[in-house]
Amino acid sequence: MTAALTSFEPPDRDQALVALAQACDGCRRCTLGGSRLQVVVSRGNPSARLMVIGEGPGAQEDEQGQPFVGRSGQLLDRMLESVGIDSNRDAYVCNIVKCRPPENRKPTALEMAACRPWLDQQIALVDPGVILLAGSTAVEGLLGIKGGITKLRGQWRRGEGVSLEGRWLMPIFHPSYLLRNASKERGSPKWLTWHDLQDVQRRLAQLTAPL
């Protein structure tokens, strides 16, 4: 990683993340800030090597102020746990946008762009080695790549640019899609996602292995 991404010692980083959350709470860069109940910034461990990025808060996230706590989040937690990853201990979880879009619609390009500076700050402060992109909106919001997640999932991408350089990125199906496709048969979305997460676990093990 570059020096700019690793210059925060934990106490400074923790203070910076608190300040970021407070700034997000007062943010009105787009109209979403005026309609949400709570800003939803993150949950998990800011010292983790894994960052999980989703689309945006839903109704339960808006009520509780934490990302991925509804049915989709519970499924994500179980799937991560199945490969030995605790979402609160071993990951830092956030979203492309920090405020709930009305009726859980997809955030617009302008909304994603307005929220991007907050996400870039999170990435710089947490400094993850691996970023898991849950769903096509997360891929579009972070990488600017549009297209079906079916073609993108399971393929490692090497991060480029100031906030992503040196990081490994893995797109996966969004858990909400997996809830609608419950089969665990070979080749099913759930089966593929489980194998993608195993690949993520192997990558994390490589990053943390002693030289």
Condensed to tens digits (0 to 9), the pLDDT of residues 21-39 reads 999 999 999 999 999 999 9
Tokens 């970021």 map to which residue? 20
Q: If you average pLDDT over residues 132-157, what whole number do you get?
A: 95
Q: Where is pLDDT greater, at 2 or 142?
A: 142
Domain that holds residue 119: 3-205
Give the Cα separation of 197 and 102 in Å (integer): 31
| 57 close to 69: Cβ distance less than 8 angstroms | no
Q: pTM of the predicted model, to two decimals?
A: 0.92
Structural domains counted in the chain = 1
7 assigned to some structural domain:
yes
24 assigned to some structural domain:
yes
210 assigned to some structural domain:
no
211 assigned to some structural domain:
no
Domain holding 57: CATH number?
3.40.470.10
51 assigned to some structural domain:
yes
* Nearest residue to 76 via CA among 197, 187, 200, 198: 197
Q: If you average pLDDT over residues 2-19, what whole number do you get?
A: 67
65-118: pLDDT as tens digits:
999 999 999 999 999 999 999 999 999 999 999 999 999 999 999 999 999 999
73 assigned to some structural domain:
yes
